[in-house]
């Protein structure tokens, strides 16, 4: 994994879904031990605060090809059930 400042880290892939283009990674050192002293964002559940019609912004590395991608849209629904990856359910 390469950060914006050029720093590189080893990662252990925990989960990936290519249909959603999202992954959960664990940052590890050369021995495979988790790196715990990195700056991080706190992720909180805001489900009750999200309203249909609000603007939404996504920032990321789309398809692992487009660094620092930003897109925006409008929340069109809540609590939809999607069938992905051979019937696994994801609630968004």
Q: Measured in whole angstroms, how far is the alpha carbon of residue 30 from the centre of its chain?
A: 24
Q: What is the model's pTM?
A: 0.42
E strand intervals along the chain: 10-17, 22-28, 55-62, 66-74, 81-84, 88-91
For 51-83, the pLDDT digits (tens) are 899 998 888 777 777 777 888 999 898 877 766
Which residue would you say has higher pLDDT here, 31 or 53?
53
Q: What pLDDT score does 89 carry?
A: 53
Residue 33 CA: distances (Å) to CA of 1, 24, 30, 40, 77: 15, 16, 7, 17, 40
């Amino acid at each position: 994994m390469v950060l914006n400042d050029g720093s590189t880290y080893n990662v252990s892939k925990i989960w990936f879904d290519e249909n959603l283009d999202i992954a959960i990674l664990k940052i590890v050192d050369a021995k495979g031990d988790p790196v715990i002293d990195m700056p991080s964002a706190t992720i909180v559940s805001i489900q009750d605060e999200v309203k249909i019609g609000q603007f939404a912004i996504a920032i990321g590395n789309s398809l692992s090809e487009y660094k620092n991608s930003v897109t925006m849209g409008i929340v069109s629904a809540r609590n939809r059930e999607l069938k992905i990856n051979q019937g696994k359910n994801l609630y968004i």
